A and B are shown apart, each in its own frame.
Chain A
Amino acid sequence: MSVLEIKNLHVNVETDQGTREILRGVDLVINEGEIHAVMGPNGSGKSTLAYTIAGHPKYHVTEGQILLDGEDVLAMTVDERARAGLFLAMQYPVEIPGVTVTNFLRTAKTAIDGEAPAIRGWIKDVRESMSNLKMDPAFAERNVNEGFSGGEKKRNEILQLELLKPRFAVLDETDSGLDVDALKIVSEGVNRAKANTGLGILLITHYTRILRYIKPDFVHVFVAGRIAEQGGPELADRLEDEGYDRYQVAETAAAE
Chain B
Amino acid sequence: MPTAEQHGFRPHSDGAFVPVQTRSERFRSVHVEDFAPVTGREHEWKLSPVAAFADLTGGELDGSRLPLESTDAAGVALSWIPRDDARIGRTGTPEERASANAWSSFGEALLIEVSGEDEKVVTVTRSGLGSTPRAAHTVIEAAPNSRGLIVLRGTGDARLTENVEIVVGEGANLTVVALQEWSDDSVHLASHFARIARDAKLKHIVVSLGGRVVRVNPSTHLAEQGGDIEALGLYFSDAGQHLEQQVYVHHDAPHTRSRVTYKGALQGQGARSVWIGDVLIGNAAVGTDSYEQNRNLVLTDGTRADSVPNLEIETGDIEGAGHASATGRFDDEQLFYLMARGISEDEARRLVVRGFLAEVVQQIGDAALEERLIAALEAELQGS
Contacts and interface: CB of A to CB of B under 8 A. Distances in A.
Interface of A: 54-57, 77-79, 81-83, 87-88, 90, 93-100, 103-104, 107-108, 111-112, 143, 160, 164
B332 A143 contact: no
A103 B342 contact: no
B341 A108 contact: yes
B344 A96 contact: no
Contacts of B345: 77, 79
20 contacts: A56-B336, A77-B339, A78-B339, A79-B345, A81-B340, A82-B339, A82-B342, A83-B342, A95-B334, A97-B297, A97-B328, A97-B352, A98-B353, A98-B354, A98-B355, A98-B359, A103-B351, A104-B351, A107-B343, A164-B342
Contacts of B334: 94-96
A81 B341 CA distance: 9
Interface residues on B, range: 20 to 34
A160 B355 CA distance: 20
A111 B343 CA distance: 6
A97 B351 CA distance: 10
B342 A79 contact: yes
A112 B342 contact: yes
Given A98-B356, A98-B359, A88 B351 contact: no
Given A90-B337, A98-B359, A79 B343 contact: yes
B340 A78 contact: yes
A112 B47 CA distance: 45
Output the residue of B338, B340, B347 with the most chain A CB within 10 A: B340
B339 to A, nearest CB: 4
A139 to B, nearest CB: 16
Nearest to B341: A108
A86 B290 CA distance: 49
Given A57-B336, A98-B356, A98-B358, A160 B341 contact: yes
A104 B337 CA distance: 11
B333 interface: yes
Contact of B333 (A83, A94, A112): A94
Given A94-B337, A98-B352, A103-B355, A111 B328 contact: no
Contacts of A87: 340
A93 B337 contact: yes
Given A104-B351, A107-B347, A96 B339 contact: no
A88 B342 contact: no
B342 A96 contact: no
Nearest to A166: B342
A56 B334 CA distance: 11
Contacts of A164: 341-342
Contacts of A96: 334, 337-338, 351-352, 355
B375 to A, nearest CB: 18
Interface of B: 297, 328, 332-334, 336-345, 347, 351-359
A67 to B, nearest CB: 19
Task: Name the residue in B337, B347, B353, B358 with the highest tally of chain A Cβ atoms < 10 Å from its Cβ.
Answer: B337
A176 B32 CA distance: 66
B339 A79 contact: yes
B336 A78 contact: yes
B337 to A, nearest CB: 4
Q: Which of A82, A98, A143, A164 has the most CB of B within 10 A?
A: A98
B334 to A, nearest CB: 5
Contacts of A55: 340
A221 to B, nearest CB: 27
Contacts of A94: 333-334, 336-337
Contacts of B337: 90, 93-94, 96
B339 A97 contact: no
A83 B355 CA distance: 23
Given A79-B343, A97-B355, A57 B332 contact: yes
A169 to B, nearest CB: 11
A112 B343 CA distance: 8
A97 B356 contact: yes
B266 to A, nearest CB: 15
A99 B352 CA distance: 6
**Which 4 A-B pairs have CB atoms at the shortest separation, nearest pair first?**
A98-B355, A98-B356, A82-B342, A108-B341
A111 B359 contact: no
Contacts of B352: 96-99
A46 to B, nearest CB: 17
Given A55-B340, A108-B343, 14 more contacts: A57-B336, A78-B336, A78-B340, A82-B340, A83-B342, A96-B334, A96-B337, A96-B338, A97-B297, A98-B353, A99-B352, A103-B351, A111-B344, A112-B341
Contacts of B357: 98
Nearest to A99: B355
A75 to B, nearest CB: 15
A111 B336 contact: no
A79 B356 contact: no
A98 B344 CA distance: 18
Contacts of B353: 98
Nearest to A111: B342
Contacts of B347: 107, 111
Contacts of A56: 336
Contacts of A77: 339, 345
B335 to A, nearest CB: 8
A111 B341 contact: yes
Q: Which of A77, A79, A94, A103: most chain B CB closer than 10 A?
A: A79
Contacts of A99: 351-352, 355
B355 A88 contact: no
Chain B CB within 10 Å — which of A54, A56, A97 has the most? A97
